[in-house]
Amino acid sequence: MKPSKELKAILKEYKKLATDMEEVRIGADLEWQTERLKKINKRFNTEIHGGGTGED
């Protein structure tokens, strides 16, 4: 099965987020990065499972 364009875009966002999180130095940045992760997770779950909240 070939990954969809949306899945490729999501994976690219995960990679960028991981790079950005390595540079986090203050709590406000961490909170913002966590919100980004939640949004990416929601998109990932929707793409893979056809729905979901992005949370366990």
Structural domain contains residue 56: no
Mind listing the pLDDT tens digit for each residue in 13-51? 999 988 877 776 655 677 788 888 999 999 999 988 886
pTM, 2 dp: 0.62
Range of the domain at 29: 5-49
pLDDT confidence band for 56 (50 / 70 / 90): very low
- Indicate the number of domains in the chain: 1
Q: Which residues contact 14 (CB under 8 A, 6 or more apart)?
A: 40, 44
Within the chain, residue ranges assigned H as helices are 5-22, 27-49
Structural domain contains residue 29: yes
Q: Which of 1, 2, 16, 4 is nearest to 46 (CA)?
A: 4
